[in-house]
Amino acid sequence: MTKEAYIQAILKKTGLDRKTKARLAADLESDIGARLDAGETLDAVMTGMGSPAEVAEGLARSMGGATPRRSRWRWAVLFLAVALLLQVLYSAIAWCFFVPREMAGAESATLGIIGGADGPTAIFVTSVRVGIPALAALGLALAALAAFLLMQWKGRRRPVPLLVTGAVLVAYAAFLLAGGLSGSMIESTLNLWMPLSAVPVLLSRIVNPAFLAPLALGIVCLRRGMKQRREKADIS
Amino acid sequence: MERYRQQLKKGVLEMVVLATVAQSPSYGYRLLGDMDARSGGMFRMKEGSLYPVLYRLEDDGMIEARWQPGEGRATPKKYYAATARGAAQLGEMKNLWAEFSACVDGMLARAAGGGSEAEKEAMA
């Protein structure tokens, strides 16, 4: 490992803001140079100062903020997000290329459900025809991606990705809710003769992991993002 | 006991670093060596603990940093020096420390002696 690579590894692991990193880089450059001038080898310098993770942890702890340790489960969450996104992609491709247009409407619902137990083809049709499961998978995939981002961004002061993710998730949840209220729902809601008929449908939309998960994760992302923005402003 | 040692060190670290820098401008590596040597090993620390203290002092305007070219083939160094404000603050810190340590010494001495007669009567 070269001196530059060692410094970069330390800076990367601190998770601190850019301004503090620049300050640290200058001091590390100066002091490692001083140690080398004093006759130490780079290996001895690295042994004396500690591994990049050790140095970074000490710095982050003393500078009141970043905790570079992140959960290892974040990779499992990312895997889940990718699997769900692939499911959405598969449904979209199947819907576009393999479902006959004449079956794409209400008929296919009946066909898909009836044929579900009959064989592979029928099961395939069932899985691709329904838009709601694909939307649900998309919601859960977005929620899983947000969870990964929260784990990955733990202790960092980079609010923008979290704020963007939070905004997208909350907008998606709002879209799902609005989708639930569209069409017949709105009509039935507006229909004074049966005002209560919309309530169970609306409740079933709200009490649904595909709605709640992205909404909750979106709110967490937004709150964490705003907190990080405040911390960043305090430091600069 | 190590926890108390760490806590005590933490409480006076800024004052000790400021005092060392005020004695003569220095860069991080030399500061670490000086503090270690002058404290008999009590203030042996690593860069990861020193830099945040330096940055706090610099942000408070008590020290300032500047680059100085190295002699001969030596690399440039980032030197820290005490400002006028830092020197004044250090004087106040020394007074505070004298007051603080006299107070703690007195309390510990009294505790070791079992307290005054009046205190013993009050306890009884």
Kindly report, residue by residue over B68-119, the tens digit of the pLDDT.
887 778 889 999 999 999 999 999 999 999 999 999 999 999 888 766 666 6
Residue with tokens 């008999």: B40
The rounded distance, in Å, linking the Cα atoms of A42 and B37 is 23
List the one residue out of B87, B83, B81, B88 whose CA is nearest residue B25.
B81
What is residue A155's predicted lDDT score, i.e. its pLDDT? 64
Bridge partner list, B77:
B68
For chain A, give the percent of residues with pLDDT over 90: 7
Instruction: Work out whether the CA dihedral B35, B37, B41, B47 comes out positive or negative.
Output: positive
Kindly state the average pLDDT of the residues A173-184. 64
- CB–CB contacts below 8 A, A to B: 67
Give B77's contacts in chain A (Cβ within 8 Å): 30, 33-34
| Residue A93: Cβ-neighbour burial (10 angstroms; 0-12, 13-18, 19+) | exposed
What is residue A18's predicted lDDT score, i.e. its pLDDT? 80
What is residue A187's predicted lDDT score, i.e. its pLDDT? 45
| Helix orientation angle between A52-62 and B47-59, rounded to the nearest 10 degrees | 30
The rounded distance, in Å, linking the Cα atoms of B17 and B23 is 10
pLDDT at B22 exceeding the cut of 90: yes
Band (A64; pLDDT cuts 50, 70, 90): low
Q: Are A30 and B78 in contact (CB < 8 Å)?
A: yes
CA within 13 Å, CB half, A14: 26
Residues in CB range of A150: below 8 A, 6 or more apart:
A162, A217, A220, A221, A224
Minimum-distance CB partner of A23 among B48, B53, B55:
B55
Band (A63; pLDDT cuts 50, 70, 90): confident
The rounded distance, in Å, linking the Cα atoms of A202 and A179 is 10
Residues in CB range of B97: below 8 A, 6 or more apart:
B12, B15
Kindly state the average pLDDT of the residues A156-185. 75
Minimum-distance CB partner of B74 among A27, A37, A57:
A37
The rounded distance, in Å, linking the Cα atoms of A83 and A62 is 39
Q: Are A62 and B49 in contact (CB < 8 Å)?
A: yes
Q: Are B47 and A31 in contact (CB < 8 Å)?
A: yes
Q: pLDDT by residue (tens digit) across A112-126?
A: 444 444 444 434 444
- How far B111 CA lies from chain A's nearest CA (Å)? 34
The alpha-helical segments, DSSP class H, found in A98-197 are: 106-115, 120-129, 131-152, 159-181, 184-190
Q: What is the number of other CB atoms lying within 10 angstroms of the CB of residue A54? A: 14
Q: Does A54 touch chain B (CB under 8 A)?
A: yes
Residues in CB range of B81: below 8 A, 6 or more apart:
B21, B25, B63, B64, B66
- Helix, strand, or coil here: B82? strand
Mutate to test the interface with B, among A62, A63, A234, A236 (most CBs of B within 10 A): A62
Minimum-distance CB partner of B51 among A24, A29, A38:
A24
Band (B121; pLDDT cuts 50, 70, 90): low
Nearest CA in chain A to B74: A37
What is residue B34's predicted lDDT score, i.e. its pLDDT? 93
Torsion angles phi and psi, residue B71, rounded to 5: -80, 135
Whether the CB-CB separation of B31 and B47 falls below 8 Å is answered with: no
The rounded distance, in Å, linking the Cα atoms of A198 and A195 is 7
According to DSSP, residue B70 is labeled P
Least trusted range by pLDDT, from A123-137, B24-38, B47-61: A123-137
Q: Does B47 touch chain A (CB under 8 A)?
A: yes
From chain B residues 57-76, the ones with a CB under 8 A of any chain A CB are 67, 70, 74-76
Q: Strand B77-82 relative to strand B63-68: parallel, antiparallel, unpaired?
A: antiparallel
List the one residue out of A215, A130, A220 whose CA is nearest residue A176.
A215
Mean residue pLDDT across chain A:
74
CA A44 to chain CA centroid, nearest Å: 41
Q: Are A34 and B55 in contact (CB < 8 Å)?
A: no
pLDDT at B30 exceeding the cut of 90: yes
| Helix or strand (DSSP H, E) at B116 | none
The rounded distance, in Å, linking the Cα atoms of A182 and A152 is 37
Kindly state the average pLDDT of the residues A59-63. 76
What is residue B98's predicted lDDT score, i.e. its pLDDT? 95
